[in-house]
Amino acid sequence: MAGKRRIIIDTDPGQDDAVAILLALASPELEVAGITAVAGNVPLEFTEKNALKICELAGRTETKVYSGAVRPLMRPLVTAEHVHGKTGLDGPDLPEPKMELQQQYAVDFIVETLMAEEPGTITLCPLGPLTNIALALIREPRIAPRIREIVLMGGAYFEVGNITPTAEFNIYVDPHAADVVFRSGVPIVMMPLDVTHKALTSKARVAAFRALGNRAGIAVAEMLGFSERFDKEKYSGDGGPLHDPCVIAYLLQPGLFSGRECNVEIETGSELTMGMSVIDWWGVTDRKKNAKVMREVDHEAFFALLVSRLGRL
Ligand code: RIB
Ligand code: CA
């Protein structure tokens, strides 16, 4: 498709993943070549099913959904039902999906697509633990120079951790995979908690989704009504951070975000700081700058984009 940016979304839905996927499927600038599910917020049996449910909610049943890693590379799976509910998509009552998963394993789909397509034409958009991405890079290192960019949600620095005092959930669940990705040499745009904690829902913003009146808007309002209850109590605010849609919004309107090129390294040795994303924000080392780390977002414009796009579904 001429002019469209071709992306693969790797995801562990998760209500915020769902909003990101809906935004992508509602945006004509993007072509979703595939959605790959990974274990994270909830086990793989739920994340793969949730990805199908979200495609049906968007009315995009032609979307190809692949199932991927059932656990991290080295560590046992840590999930977040306390935030996302048992199914990972608590809130709306979405029907069991009629769509079926693709037969191909997600990692093989990622490798095959990158080896078959013109170099520099596929952008990877990880929204969960980086297990599938790391497995693809290990299985076929030749894909690294063929990836246009990796735009991911993960990590934290000034905002510190949300699953441990020092680590953000996606990186913490599979720190070894994150280490593989950040050492890959692939251009990375990183959306850490430092920026996603500035994209906060509110009663008015949830009401704006509900006021769309379409299935997607109402379902998103119900999803956020569920997932933000945890964040409101934890951060004592009026709403919760909308992490994953920052990745897709960046592809649509990069000017909404600002940050800087930094060196980012991942802690994989110390249990105390396991999964910490050590970001050299002030450039106090001569380590290679391997990621553009975002720290600011125009949150009014971000939510306006979300509402306008979800209204198209
Ligand atoms: O820490 C926030 C991240 O962890 C988001 O991607 C959320 O969906 C969970 O996966
Ligand atoms: Ca996620």
Catalytic site residue from 82, 84, 176, 243: 243
Which ligand 1 atom is the nearest neighbour of the CA of 244? 6
Structure tokens at 212: 């769309």
* Those residues with Cβ within 8 angstroms of residue 270's Cβ, 6 or more apart along the chain or in another chain: none
Q: Give the model's pLDDT for residue 11.
A: 99
pLDDT (tens digit per residue) in 193-206? 999 999 999 999 99
Q: Classify domain 5-310 by CATH architecture.
A: Alpha-Beta Complex (3.90)
Ordered by start, the domain boundaries in the chain are: 5-310
pLDDT at 259 over 60: yes
SS3 301: helix
Q: Give the model's pLDDT for residue 154.
A: 98
Whether the CB-CB separation of 140 and 166 falls below 8 Å is answered with: no
> What residue's CA is closest to ligand 1, atom 1?
169
Compute, in angstroms, the gap from residue 284 CA to the centroid of ligand 2: 31
**Which-ligand-closest: CA of 153?**
1
For residue 205, give Cα distances in angstroms to 158, 210, 239.
26, 9, 9
* Those residues with Cβ within 8 angstroms of residue 312's Cβ, 6 or more apart along the chain or in another chain: 26
Using a 6 Å cutoff on CB, does residue 244 contact ligand 1? yes
Using a 6 Å cutoff on CB, does residue 245 contact ligand 1? no
Read off the pLDDT band of 235 (50, 70, 90): confident
pLDDT (tens digit per residue) in 236-252? 777 899 999 999 999 99
Which ligand 1 atom is the nearest neighbour of the CA of 16? 8
Compute, in angstroms, the gap from residue 260 CA to the centroid of ligand 2: 23
Could you count the other beta carbons within 10 Å of the beta carbon of residue 56? 17
**Which-ligand-closest: CA of 167?**
1
Whether the CB-CB separation of 186 and 150 falls below 8 Å is answered with: yes
Residue length of the chain: 313
Which of 42, 153, 230, 276, when mutated, tests ligand 1's pocket best, judged by the most ligand atoms within 8 Å of its CB? Answer: 153
Which of 21, 22, 127, 166, when mutated, tests ligand 1's pocket best, judged by the most ligand atoms within 8 Å of its CB? Answer: 127
Its pTM stands at: 0.97
* DSSP for 208-262, written as a single string: HHHHT-SHHHHHHHHHHHHHHHHHHHHH-SSS-B--THHHHHHHH-GGGEEEEEE
For residue 136, give Cα distances in angstroms to 85, 115, 124, 252.
29, 11, 11, 26
SS3 148: strand
> What residue's CA is closest to ligand 1, atom 2?
169
Q: Give the model's pLDDT for residue 276.
A: 98
Using a 6 Å cutoff on CB, does residue 153 contact ligand 1? yes
Mean pLDDT of 116-123: 98
Q: Give the model's pLDDT for residue 2.
A: 62
Strands (E), 43-199: 65-67, 122-126, 147-153, 188-191
Using a 6 Å cutoff on CB, does residue 243 contact ligand 1? yes
For residue 117, give Cα distances in angstroms to 6, 7, 31, 96, 147.
10, 12, 14, 33, 10
Q: What gap in Å lies between CA 45 and CA 23, rounded to an integer? A: 23
SS3 36: strand
Whether the CB-CB separation of 90 and 32 falls below 8 Å is answered with: no
Whether the CB-CB separation of 9 and 125 falls below 8 Å is answered with: yes
Q: Is 243 a known active-site residue?
A: yes
pLDDT at 155 over 70: yes
Bridge partner residues of 191 (DSSP): 153
pLDDT (tens digit per residue) in 4-62? 999 999 999 999 999 999 999 999 999 999 999 999 999 999 999 999 999 999 999 99
Read off the pLDDT band of 233 (50, 70, 90): confident
Question: Could you give phi then psi for residue 104, rounded to 5 degrees?
Answer: -65, 140
Q: Give the model's pLDDT for residue 80.
A: 92
pLDDT at 1 over 60: no
Which of 243, 246, 247, 277, when mutated, tests ligand 1's pocket best, judged by the most ligand atoms within 8 Å of its CB? Answer: 243
Angle formed at CA 153 by CA 313 and CA 284, multiple of 5 degrees:
150
Using a 6 Å cutoff on CB, does residue 162 contact ligand 1? yes
